[in-house]
Amino acid sequence: MKVFLFVKNSEKAISTARELKGFLTSKCVASELFVNRGKVTSPKALRKSSLMVVVGGDGTFLAGARLASRWGVPVVGVNEGRFGFLTEIEPSEAPRMLDTILSGKAKLQNRIMLSTYLYRKGVKKFLGNYLNDIVVSKSAIARIMEIECFSNDKFMMRVFGDGVIVSTPTGSTAYALSAGGPIVYPTSESLLFIPICPHTLSNRPMVIPADFSVRFRISSKDNAAYLTMDGQRGLFLKKGDVVEVRKSKTYCRVYTNPNLSFFEILRKKLRWG
């Protein structure tokens, strides 16, 4: 077995990762430490790894998950960030969690991802698979944008407002939650559609089947809209552009904390009673 340590570029995260690398060495497990410094192509060592350990915050986890999912490599997150919705394991718990995984006693979860495409002047371009969300939002200050929304090629609505979000259940606790969307259990197979500050107040969030596609046609002028994927990649959109989002054939395989339920995470992070 080989473990790939995907690490946030911070002193604390790197220090924790080095300690975990030492622990793995003591267990006679080969490992490689990779610090995430921005643009990352798929490291060759990852392709031959049996596990990715992300050391950082949820942003680092999303970046690592996109890489690991290409090769079907399972991911576990060690929290050295702020929120820890995705990086569930605290550093003090990490050696015990790795022991559980290495012994084959940990259970994997399959999380759906979003395949994203851009249609521009008749040309279709694949933009990647994403774990959290796809957002089309306004790029100018205090401008209402117009987006035509379709699902399975059927017209849904015309949104006048700040934009729209398509989220996975995993991403339901991220931007979608802030925009008024529901919390959905992360292993569910569904898509969330959330208008952002719609001018028409009857435009409400919806949960739709995972096998439905969602398309957005941009009616606003060139560069008035911006496409953001997982909050980390993005591009300006032109009038007439179509963004298509659908459930990916690729899943993100995740090891979660066996001692911490999703509801406990919500109580802790959202300060529920």
Q: Is residue 14's pLDDT more than 90?
A: yes
Active site residue 222: no
> What's the CA gap between 60 and 34, in Å, rounded?
12
Confidence at residue 142, expressed as pLDDT on a 0 to 100 scale: 62
Query: What average pLDDT is seen over the chain?
Result: 93
The single-letter DSSP state of residue 106 is P
In the chain, the percentage of residues whose pLDDT exceeds 70 is 98
pLDDT in tens, 77-87: 999 988 778 99
Which phi and psi angles does 63 have, rounded to 5°? -65, -45
Confidence at residue 1, expressed as pLDDT on a 0 to 100 scale: 85
Q: How confident is the model at residue 92 (pLDDT cuts 50, 70, 90)?
A: very high
Dihedral-angle region of residue 83 (phi above 0 means left; psi in -120 to 50 means alpha; beta otherwise): alpha
Catalytic residue chosen out of the listed positions 58, 133, 230, 241:
58
Residue of 170, 211, 161 whose CA lies nearest to 188: 170
**Nearest-10 Cα torsion for 209, 212, 213, 217:** -80
> What's the CA gap between 205 and 119, in Å, rounded?
25
Please indicate whether residue 41 or residue 232 has the higher confidence score (pLDDT).
232
Rounded to an integer, the average pLDDT of 232-260 is 94
Residue of 86, 70, 40, 65 whose CA lies nearest to 250: 70
Joined tokens for residue 136: 């089309």
pLDDT in tens, 98-147: 999 999 888 899 999 999 999 999 999 999 999 999 999 988 776 788 99
Reduced to 3 states (helix: H, G, I; strand: E, B; else coil), residue 201 is: coil
pTM of the complete model: 0.93
Confidence at residue 43, expressed as pLDDT on a 0 to 100 scale: 75
Structural domains of the chain, with CATH: 2-107+256-269 (3.40.50.10330), 113-249 (2.60.200.30)
Confidence at residue 217, expressed as pLDDT on a 0 to 100 scale: 96
